[in-house]
A and B are shown apart, each in its own frame.
Chain A
Amino acid sequence: MPASNGPMSGSADGRTDVTERSLLQAIVEVARSVFGAAAASVFLLDEQTGELVFEAVAGEGEDDLVGIRFPSGTGLAGWVVMSGQALLVDDVARNPQFARDAAESTGYVPRSIMAAPLIRNGDCIGVLEVLDRGSRPRGDLSDVDLIGMLATEVALGLELVLRLRRLTGGQQPSTADAGGDEGMLRRIAARLPAATEPVASTVSRLLATADDLLAGESAASRGGSR
């Protein structure tokens, strides 16, 4: 997990990470589809730095935003983190300051943003955001209600992943190690699409080997049982 110090931070068991990542990816895909949106994304809050970290993105920016960080105290995401409420802004592109900030951080300037907090045990641990909803018969208030429900689902899903991880004895790696390995994995994920074919193929084989190694070890550590 890129949010190395976040409430859902990494596990020694690679498979739970995959589960968490797939959960978040599935949710953002659903959010994007339901709203007919240009993009949907989930950020988690890094408790140590107060930064928000892109964890999953569907649509605009899905290839290069995961792992990107920005301060949580500003922008609409900041409003959501602070107020703990789902919010919607409509004409953001009309606002030059906002447009400049958005372009600098994500490369995409939306017309509208809707966002809801992910709340776990009373704390805001992240934000679900939807950019540029398609025009639909539903009203704005219903849209805000719906993203609120989706955000609640994300938070509950993350909570379950965390409990499962505790039950299966997943060990928390040290913060430094997690940041280091995850940072490297993010860099690999970001660079891989642009690599030449032979290099990409080698990297893929190495990653598959690493995946097999980790899977074998975690199976062995549980005595082969599930």
Chain B
Amino acid sequence: MTSEPQASGDPEQYPWRRPPRHHFPGIPAWGAPTATLREEKFDVSPIGNVTPEWAWGGSDGSGVKVAVLDSGVDGSHPMVKRLDRSVGVVPGDDDEFTVVDCEPTDAAGHGTACAGLISSIAPEAALTSVRVLTNGKHGTGAGLISGLRWAIDEGFDVINMSLSTGKPQFCLALHELADRAYFRRCVIVASAHNMPVRSYPWPFASVISVASHDEDDPAVYYYNPSPPVDFFARGMGVEVAWPGGAKIRSTGNSFAAPHITGICARILSKHPMLTPFQLKSVLYLAASNVFQPQGGEHASQ
């Protein structure tokens, strides 16, 4: 197969958006009588000889929807190319949060910094800001979970999470959401923690976790063979957006994750049928320490 199929039609008809099989008493049982059942047709993004050029060469992220779960995004900042929508979580009764549309602003600037980096790699990716952080009072936790659930249900292709929560009571809910995202072909890219504390969701196997390397090339990223961190991307001395249309040089894993988010957007733009585990394999095969340009061979096992 040489031609790449394009995802088409109603997104709700994608196999990964289909409602679960309904069986008595409401829980599906699994099995497929393939000897007698007619085989289901589905589009395929064939994985051939994976090179960075094959993976994302010539792609600008167009057609890919990216959610930035953070402090908001300043839509007027010159580093932010395409901000389609801004929503925020609002606390209601009983610790429940609702998601409502809001102005494209960001008092803190952290989300704008992340969005600017995604734009710098995938300028045509359609960004949506999901404000789950407002200040120290509501930091992480319930609001984060509400925002993440909303983003997964909205069908974003990639969700950037340069944040985490260390509260153990949210671990299970986050784990279930991360798995739900994975099965709906919604890729969560999360920054690994750079301090010796337990936090989530970055260590989950269903997300792509990113820490920093200290080189200056935004296209260079490394596969990490020892879990739980999946990849190392640029995170040191990165020029990022700062409130008021300015820029600043900053260091931290918060800025490594958006690099991989941008790369994922470019890959999915070219190869829209890739599932998260296929995408992670493509990232692995095209990583700077795995892919060897000469002869098209990969690094030794």
In the A-B complex, list the 9 residue pairs whose CB atoms are closest, starting with the nearest: A122-B166, A122-B167, A73-B135, A148-B195, A72-B136, A87-B252, A88-B251, A50-B137, A90-B249
Find out whether the CB atom of A85 lies under 8 angstroms from the CB atom of B136: no
Query: What are 29 pairs between A and B in contact, CB < 8 Å?
Result: A47-B136, A50-B135, A72-B136, A74-B243, A78-B71, A82-B108, A82-B110, A83-B164, A83-B191, A84-B193, A84-B197, A85-B162, A87-B250, A88-B251, A90-B248, A90-B250, A90-B251, A91-B248, A91-B249, A97-B242, A98-B242, A98-B246, A117-B195, A124-B139, A139-B214, A141-B235, A149-B196, A152-B195, A152-B197
A52 interface residue per 8 A CB criterion? yes
Find out whether the CB atom of A144 lies under 8 angstroms from the CB atom of B108: no
Given A85-B191, A122-B198, A145-B194, 16 other A-B residues pairs in contact with their CB atoms under 8 A? A45-B136, A72-B136, A75-B108, A82-B163, A83-B162, A85-B253, A86-B195, A90-B250, A92-B248, A98-B242, A116-B195, A122-B199, A140-B237, A141-B235, A148-B194, A152-B195
Q: Kindly identify, within residues 65 to 115 of chain A, every residue whose CB is under 8 Å from any CB belonging to chain B.
A: 71-75, 78-79, 81-92, 94-98
Find out whether the CB atom of B139 lies under 8 angstroms from the CB atom of A81: yes
B212 interface residue per 8 A CB criterion? yes
Contacts of B199 in A (CB 8 A): 84, 122
Q: Which of B135, B246, B253 contacts A78 (CB 8 A)?
A: B135
Q: Which of B70, B167, B248 contacts A89 (CB 8 A)?
A: B248
Find out whether the CB atom of A141 lies under 8 angstroms from the CB atom of B236: yes
Binding site for A on B (CB under 8 A): 70-71, 107-110, 113, 133-137, 139-140, 162-168, 191, 193-199, 212, 214, 235-237, 242-244, 246-254
Binding site for B on A (CB under 8 A): 45, 47, 50-52, 71-75, 78-79, 81-92, 94-98, 116-117, 119, 121-124, 139-141, 144-145, 148-149, 151-152
Closest to A91 in B: B249
Find out whether the CB atom of B139 lies under 8 angstroms from the CB atom of A88: no
Find out whether the CB atom of B243 lies under 8 angstroms from the CB atom of A85: no
Known contacts A87-B250, A95-B242; decide if A119 and B166 are in contact (CB<8 Å).
Answer: yes
Query: Measured between alpha carbons, how far is A91 from B237 in the docked complex, in Å?
Result: 10
Contacts of A94 in B (CB 8 A): 248
Contacts of B166 in A (CB 8 A): 84, 119, 121-123
Contacts of A121 in B (CB 8 A): 166-167
Find out whether the CB atom of B252 lies under 8 angstroms from the CB atom of A86: yes
Closest to A46 in B: B136
Q: Which of B242, B248, B252 contacts A85 (CB 8 A)?
A: B252
Closest to B132 in A: A82
Closest to B213 in A: A141
Contacts of B197 in A (CB 8 A): 84, 119, 152
Query: Measured between alpha carbons, how far is A47 from B136 in the docked complex, in Å?
Result: 7
Query: Measured between alpha carbons, how far is A148 from B71 in the docked complex, in Å?
Result: 22
Closest to B242 in A: A95
Query: Measured between alpha carbons, how far is A47 from B137 in the docked complex, in Å?
Result: 6
Query: Measured between alpha carbons, how far is A85 from B212 in the docked complex, in Å?
Result: 12
Closest to A117 in B: B195
Query: Measured between alpha carbons, how far is A79 from B139 in the docked complex, in Å?
Result: 11
Find out whether the CB atom of A119 lies under 8 angstroms from the CB atom of B107: no
Interface centre among A52, A79, A121 (most CB of B within 10 A): A79
Closest to B199 in A: A84
Q: Which of A52, A73, A88 contacts B134 (CB 8 A)?
A: A73
Contacts of B135 in A (CB 8 A): 50, 71-73, 78, 81-82
Closest to A89 in B: B250
Find out whether the CB atom of B212 lies under 8 angstroms from the CB atom of A141: yes
Find out whether the CB atom of B214 lies under 8 angstroms from the CB atom of A83: no
Closest to B196 in A: A152
Closest to A126 in B: B136
Query: Measured between alpha carbons, how far is A82 from B136 in the docked complex, in Å?
Result: 7
The distance from the CB of B241 to the nearest CB of chain A, in whole angstroms, is: 11
Query: Measured between alpha carbons, how far is A104 from B180 in the docked complex, in Å?
Result: 47
Query: Measured between alpha carbons, how far is A68 from B199 in the docked complex, in Å?
Result: 30
Find out whether the CB atom of A83 lies under 8 angstroms from the CB atom of B251: no
Find out whether the CB atom of B108 lies under 8 angstroms from the CB atom of A78: yes
